[in-house]
Amino acid sequence: MKRIFLLTTLSLFLFATHSEAQIPVVSKVTKALPKVDLGLKVGANFQELSGNLSSQYRGGVVGGLFVGLHKNRMGVQVEGLVKTVDYQVKVPMVTMPPFATYTSVSVNAISLEVPVLFEYKIFWHIWAQAGPEFSSIITAKNGSTDYKNNFDSHDFGAVIGLEAHLPMKLNIGARYIYGLTNINNESVSGVAGSMKNRTAQIYVGFRFI
């Protein structure tokens, strides 16, 4: 019994000693790896459709998940967001020239957007962000009337913004998205001309890790 006790004690001592010897190695590996961020964000979405009959910024909401990798002053962040916007679009009333006339219709749209952002820490907890954004319209309706086919559902844009990584695992930020794709599907909308998204967003986020 005493032998078993002595062997168990010796084993625990050797294990503890071995673990302590490994801690510096583990610490070095941990420091070498990038920091991982995972969290949720929600905010306000202000969007206009340039080139449209009623071109003005209109409010909506935006929210979703983000995951990021950061090392020293550099980082990359990918997000999956859902946003709402109330487009005011023009639709033809009389289509035979020279009597073509148009009216403005409110279209409630929901879109999925995926920005891929490269980040640089400029000072304190402030990170500059820039990169591409890919988005797709999920629905676009006025009441029971579906206007989704009036748009090219896929959009590509350029993002620039600032984000602050604050204590208590909070993020706040603002960004501007400049749409590069003409989303007007003229063959369905019956309206000629380029229509591109211009979007401003402000948000708050919470990091789980």
pLDDT tens digit sequence for 174-193: 999 999 999 999 888 888 88
Alpha carbon 32 to chain centroid distance?
Answer: 27
Domain shared by 22 and 40, yes or no: no
pLDDT of 89:
82
**b/e string for 50-63 if b means 16 or more Cβ within 10 A?**
eebbeeeeeebebe
Range(s) of the domain holding residue 201 = 34-207
Query: Comparing C-alpha atoms, which of 50, 23, 18, 28 is closest to residue 179?
Result: 50
Residue 141's CATH number: 2.40.160.20
Same domain flag for 15 and 58: no
| Lowest mean pLDDT segment, chosen from 33-37, 50-54, 100-104, 123-127 | 50-54
Residues 76, 4 share a domain: no
Domain match, 17 and 59 both: no
Structure confidence by residue, pLDDT tens digits, 132-157: 999 999 999 999 999 999 999 899 99
Compute how many other C-beta atoms are within 10 angstroms of the C-beta atom of residue 125.
Answer: 12
- The verdict on 116 and 82 lying in the same domain is yes
pLDDT higher than 80, residue 109: yes
Q: Are residues 125 and 173 in the same domain?
A: yes
Q: Is the pLDDT of residue 119 over 90?
A: yes
Q: Are residues 26 and 42 in the same domain?
A: no
Residues 108 and 140 in one domain: yes
How many structural domains compose the chain?
A: 2
Contact yes or no for 111/124 (Cβ under 8 A): no
CA atoms 138, 142, 145, 150: torsion sign: negative
What integer is the mean pLDDT of 17-44?
Answer: 72
**Alpha-carbon 89 to chain mean position:** 25
